[in-house]
Amino acid sequence: MSAHAVRPSDNRLLAALPQEEYARLLPRLELVSLATRATLHEADTPIDRVYFPLTAVASVTTLMADGAMVEVGTIGREGTTGLPAFFGAEVSPLVTFIQVPGDVVRLPLAAFREAAASGTALHALLLRFAQAYYILTAQSAGCNRLHPVEERCARWLLLTEDRAGRGTFPLSHEFLGLHARRAARQRDDGDGRAPAGGAADLPPGDRHDPGPARPGGGELRVLRRHRQGVHHPPCPRLSIPG
Percent pLDDT > 90 in the chain is: 42
* Residue 238 within a domain: no
Q: What is the pLDDT of residue 142?
A: 72
Q: Looking at the structure, do residues 204 and 133 belong to the same domain, yes or no?
A: no
**117 and 10 co-located in one domain:** yes
Domain boundary among 140, 166, 189: 140
Residues of the domain holding 103: 3-140
Residues 180 and 81 both lie in one domain: no
Lowest mean pLDDT among 34-38, 169-173, 226-230: 226-230
Looking at the whole model, is its pTM more than 0.75?
A: no
Residues 130 and 177 placed together within one structural domain of the fold: no
What mean pLDDT value characterizes the chain?
75
Q: Is residue 112 part of a domain?
A: yes
Burial string for 83-106 (b: 16+ CB within 10 Å, else e) reads bbbbeeeeebebbbbbbbbbbbbb
Domain check: are 112 and 203 in the same one? no
CA dihedral 12, 15, 16, 20 (to 10 degrees): 160
Let me know whether 136 and 186 are in one domain: no
pLDDT of residue 154: 66
- Same domain for 23 and 107, yes or no, is yes
- Count CB-CB contacts under 10 A for residue 4: 9
Cα–Cα distance between 14 and 8 in angstroms, integer?
5
74 and 134 within one domain: yes
Higher-confidence position of 8 and 66: 66
- Look up the CATH number of the domain holding residue 169: 1.10.10
- pLDDT band at 150, cuts 50/70/90? low
| Closest of 76, 220, 72 to residue 162, by C-alpha | 76
Q: What pLDDT score was predicted for residue 151? A: 67
Asked if the model's pLDDT at residue 28 lies above 90, the reply is yes
- 196 in any annotated domain: yes
Asked whether residue 185 is domain-assigned, the answer is yes
**End of a domain among 140, 172, 198?**
140
Span 40-92, pLDDT tens digits: 999 999 999 999 999 999 999 988 888 888 888 899 999 999 999 999 999 99
- The helix or strand, by DSSP H or E, that contains position 125, with its residue range, turns out to be helix 121-146
Count structural domains, the chain: 2
Residues 85 and 157 in one domain: no
Q: Can you tell me the mean pLDDT for 89-102?
A: 93
The residue among 44, 56, 64 whose CA lies nearest residue 81 is: 56
In tens, the pLDDT along 158-212 reads 677 767 766 666 766 566 545 544 544 554 554 444 333 333 333 333 323 334 4
> Which residue among 140, 175, 190 closes a domain?
140
